[in-house]
Amino acid sequence: MNVLPISPEQSSLVILDLLFKLKIKEVMTTTLITAPRGASLRDIQRLMKENGITGVPIAEGRRLFGIVSMDDIITALENGTVDERADRHMATNLVVLEDDMPLSFGISYFDKFRYGRFPVLNRNNELVGILTSRDVSASLLLELFKEYNKLEAQIQPPAPAAGERGRVRRKFPAKRYDFENAGKASHEIKKELTGRGYDPRLIRRVSVAAYEMELNMVVHSEGGALTCLLDPDRVELIAQDHGPGIADVDWAMQEGCTTANEWIKSLGFGAGMGLPNIRRVADEFDIQSTVGVGTTVRAVIRLPPVAPSPAPPQTP
Amino acid sequence: MKFADVAQRLGAEVAHRGSTFDREELHHVMASDLMSDVLVVDRSRLLILTALASDQAIRTADMVGAAGVVVVNGKTLPAHMTRLAAELDVTLLRTRKPKFEACVALRELAAP
């Protein structure tokens, strides 16, 4: 039967995010091929053949009465009832979806009921579309491609090391719930500092601040970017996200205060230690947040002068 | 104590042998399943004990400069976790012992 190779429980987080974000009405086919109750099964079989489809909703106007599938046609051919009216043979005990449901719901239906298609009704019980596994795959591919382009656009090539008086500027995108990539930016920053021969304890402070910032954006924000400005005497880290913002910054700055859900906690995060920890390791720290706009966290860690010849990478 | 001592004492298998495996002298152990708590630890020559068998345990070790991670409770290590340990040069061990028992065993090892 028709089983989608996508699971609402086990897919990658980027796909999970899409499955919850996309609504069925954004994915379904809206150009419907239907037949009235009085149509013969032979008419319907022709409709299927002409349009390359395997199921036809029996509807008049926007009112849905039933559905005739390829199986019904085969049965009718076997029983010699193919010239009879559709409403005598259609399935009427229908499983339908609502257009406002998240796509994850639709996918779980494909698993649960093993049908190849589901009629979609709006709030007024009017037939507005049909959802097939093909619609799901096609729209997910399209959305993933869009996400990919969005992320690509956010990546900026690293500025040349000898930019503004030795300043290095790197910007790394951060995406909501993308735990797979959280930490990659911090690792790059750490590598850069290790290569310059800084003290491991200092590198740890910068890495921890950067990592906490990345995690904060992945856990709490709708996405953002981590910028690292590396000057000869300081590292400045700026985490800027585009929402949802923190209503009470003073509360969020307290140890143990968190809005993370159980799922985040099961991944080992969301203990409400992130912001206080960034402040702890930084020489300068500030946070600005506006609900509905976003949050910007800035941390500066001062660097002592290093010997001119680069020291070999050290292990703490 | 060295990684070899830890592995022997915990009956642990070595999923990834980092470049410092033979020479690193481990001075501190942090046992937690909450990486947020590990990130607050400011120690060198650190070993992390955790029941969290995920990439983020390795990433956290990398960030705090820990030398290695021991996954307790005999949790299965996902292949990508072992790959990441190799990429970031973090020694990764796995023991069947529960976290508390592993802590006790390491305490005995450090101060017999």
pLDDT digits (tens, 9 = 90+) for A6-48: 665 556 667 777 788 889 999 999 989 999 999 999 999 999 9
* Per-residue pLDDT, A259: 81
User: A163 pLDDT exceeds 50?
Assistant: no
A221: nearest Cα among A182, A250, A266: A182
**Given an 8 Å threshold on Cβ–Cβ distance, is B44 in contact with A190?**
no
Whole-number pLDDT of residue A165: 57
pLDDT of A267 reads: 76
Min Cα–Cα distance to chain B from A209, Å = 9
Residue A295: per-residue pLDDT: 94
CA distance linking residue A151 with residue A135, whole number of Å: 24
Question: What's the CA gap between B48 and B35, in Å, rounded?
Answer: 10
**Rounded Cα gap, residues B38 and B32, in angstroms:** 7
Query: Looking at chain B, how many residues does it have?
Result: 112
Q: Looking at per-residue confidence, does B66 or A146 come out higher?
A: B66
Q: Is the pLDDT of residue A144 over 90?
A: no
SS3 A272: coil
From chain A, the residues in CB contact with B60 under 8 A are 183, 211, 268
B19, B30, B36, B83, best to mutate vs chain A, most A CBs in 10 Å: B36
Name the average pLDDT for chain A.
Answer: 86
Name the β-bridge partners of A288. Answer: A296
What per-residue confidence (pLDDT) applies to A274? Answer: 87
Q: Please determine, for residue A305, whether its predicted confidence score (pLDDT) is greater than 90.
A: no
The dihedral sign for the CA sequence A183, A184, A186, A191: positive
pLDDT for A157 beyond 60: no
Chain B residues touching A268 at Cβ < 8 A: 33-36, 50, 52, 54, 56-57, 60
Are B12 and B108 a contacting pair, CB within 8 Å? no
β-strands A234-241, B68-71: how paired? unpaired
A312 pLDDT tier (thresholds 50, 70, 90): low
A93 touches chain B (CB under 8 A): no
* pLDDT recorded at residue A162: 47
Three-state DSSP at A218 gives helix
Indicate whether A59 pLDDT > 50: yes
pLDDT higher at B16 or A112: B16
Q: Which of A202-211, A251-260, B94-103 has the lowest mean pLDDT?
A: A251-260
- How much is the pLDDT for A2? 46
Instruction: Decide if pLDDT at A316 tops 70.
Output: no
The region that residue A113 occupies, defined by phi over 0 for left and psi between -120 and 50 for alpha, beta otherwise, is: alpha
List the structure tokens of A91: 């399935």
* Contacting residues of A for B64, CB less than 8 Å apart: 204, 207-208
| Chain B contact residues (CB < 8 Å to A) | 20, 24, 33-37, 39-40, 42, 44-46, 50, 52, 54-57, 59-60, 62-65, 67, 88
Beta pairing partners, B89: none
Using only C-alpha atoms, what is the Rg of chain B? 12
Minimum distance, in Å, between the CA of residue B63 and any CA atom of chain A: 5
pTM score: 0.63
- What residues are paired with A302 via a beta bridge? A234
Query: Across the interface, do B36 and A268 touch by the CB < 8 Å criterion?
Result: yes
Q: Residue B42: name the closest of A276, A273, A316 by CA.
A: A316
Interval A286-313 mean pLDDT: 82
pLDDT digits (tens, 9 = 90+) for A66-82: 999 999 999 999 999 99
Question: In this complex, do A204 and B64 lie within 8 Å of one another by their Cβ atoms?
Answer: yes
Give yes or no for a cis peptide into B78 (omega within 30° of 0): no
**Residue A190 contacts residue A201 (beta carbons within 8 Å):** no
The conformation of residue A86, written as its DSSP 8-state character, comes to G
CA distances from B7 to B10, B27, B94, B107 (A): 5, 15, 8, 14
Q: CA–CA separation, A13 vs A177, rounded Å?
A: 6
Contact at CB, B36 and A182, closer than 8 angstroms: no
Neighbours of B104 (CB within 10 A): 12
* pLDDT higher than threshold 90 for residue A139: no
In B, minimum Cα distance to A184 occurs at: B59
Q: What percent of chain B has pLDDT over 70?
A: 100
Residue B44 and residue A271: Cβ atoms within 8 Å?
no
> What are the structure tokens assigned to A232, written together?
């000869």
Partner-chain contact A179 B67, CB within 8 Å? no
Reported confidence tier of residue B106, pLDDT bands at 50, 70, 90 = very high
CB atoms B56 and A179 under 8 Å: yes
Q: Is the pLDDT of residue A299 over 70?
A: yes
Give yes or no for A191 touching B (CB within 8 A). Answer: no
Query: What's the start-to-end Cα distance of chain A, in Å?
Result: 56
pLDDT at A245 exceeding the cut of 70: yes
* Residue A104 pLDDT greater than 60, yes or no: yes
Residue type, A129: G
Residues 6 or more apart from A145 whose CB is under 8 A from it?
Answer: none
**Type of residue numbered A39:** A
